[in-house]
Amino acid sequence: MPGAYVTRHPFTLMATVSSHTPLTDPVLVSPQREAPVTGRDVLLSWEPVPGAEAYLVQVARDTAFEDLAVEESAGSETSLRIEDVLPENRATFYWRVIAQGEGGESPGEHVESFIVMTPDQVESAPATEPDTDEPTGPVSKLFQAAGAEMTAEVSGSDAADAAVDALGVEPEGVESAQIIGLTLSVLAALALIIFLLFNWNATVLEQTMVQAVNMSGYPDLVETEAAAARQLSQYEVLSDADGVYRVPIDRVITLMANEAQTRRDTAYSAELPVLTNR
């Protein structure tokens, strides 16, 4: 409009974007994999998480962490000692650590476990990790223990029982004879399967070779056999003037048998005339 003035004021649109990275779960160091621990004194440790300001420790009786036995903040420390809280009844507990900070909380998906025992039980508990130094792993120890257990049952000597205990394999209520019997059954089943597969392969190979010969190996032989089969199974006029005909071999045998029954006084020679192909 004439004489009208419009004043325009510049403005700035500002947005605040959080620069904090979401926190990840800490790496749980100890205890792990149902390790035996003393129930009255459990030390949990984990690795620090960048950006974490505090750690929330949870110990539960179930993997869903619905039945919590311990829920305690460790502050900025990377370990927590739990004293005189858990039982010593060989129960399994699960634990996790949730990192907390300006980036929120970690999801708490990393879970480890331990078994609470008395100090004496922890001292005598077998190692939870397999012996990787063995050439065949822990399997050889199992067979050694089964053999030693069978010897102890048969002999009943204390020395044999001590040998079983020295192997560090705890009895699980399964007789050694059952273990050995099951092993022999599995080996026998494997041997039978191998035998059947070998025979099946041999049969398939033989059938394949026969098909190959019939298809392309000896065409002249196949044609000769087919011509011989036709001569033995078909009717054919060899000489109409002389009254010579070819009759299938089955029909000839039937006619000769009938003639022999009707003419019992006729003697036949052991040699029959052979009619050549015309």
**Burial tier of 106 (Cβ tally within 10 Å: 0-12, 13-18, 19+):** buried
> How many Cα atoms within 13 Å fall on the side-chain side of residue 138?
9
The model's pLDDT over 2-37, given as tens digits with 9 standing for 90+, comes to: 554 444 555 444 444 445 678 889 999 999 998 999
pLDDT at position 249, please? Answer: 85
pLDDT at position 255, please? Answer: 83
Does 107 sit behind a cis peptide bond, omega within 30 degrees of 0 on the bond before it? no
In whole angstroms, give the CA distance from residue 48 to residue 249.
98
Q: How far is CA 263 from CA 63, 118, 192, 251, 267, in A?
A: 101, 110, 62, 18, 9
Question: What average pLDDT does this structure show over 183-201?
Answer: 90
Is residue 142's pLDDT more than 90?
no
Question: What average pLDDT does this structure show over 230-245?
Answer: 80
Q: 226 or 168, which is more confident?
A: 226
Q: What share of the chain in percent tops pLDDT 90?
A: 29
pLDDT at position 264, please? Answer: 63
Phi and psi at 82, nearest 5°, equal -110, 115
Is residue 189's pLDDT more than 70?
yes
Q: Which of the residue ranges 101-110, 170-179, 233-242 would you say has the lowest mean pLDDT? A: 170-179
Cα end-to-end distance, the chain, whole Å: 128
pTM for this model (two decimals): 0.43
- CB–CB of 36/123 below 8 Å? no
pLDDT at position 26, please? Answer: 92
pLDDT at position 99, please? Answer: 92
In whole angstroms, give the CA distance from residue 44 to residue 55.
12
In whole angstroms, give the CA distance from residue 79 to residue 128.
22
In whole angstroms, give the CA distance from residue 60 to residue 128.
21
The model's pLDDT over 34-88, given as tens digits with 9 standing for 90+, comes to: 899 998 999 999 999 998 999 999 999 999 999 999 999 999 999 999 998 899 8
Question: What average pLDDT does this structure show over 256-266?
Answer: 74
Q: What share of the chain in percent tops pLDDT 70?
A: 65
The model's pLDDT over 266-278, given as tens digits with 9 standing for 90+, comes to: 555 555 555 555 4
Reported as a pLDDT band with limits 50, 70 and 90, residue 205 is confident
Mean pLDDT over each residue of the chain, to the nearest integer: 77
- What single string gives the DSSP state of each residue in 115-142? EEE-HHHHHHPPPSS--TTSTTTTHHHH
- What single string gives the DSSP state of each residue in 57-68? EEEESSTTS-SE
In whole angstroms, give the CA distance from residue 41 to residue 117.
10
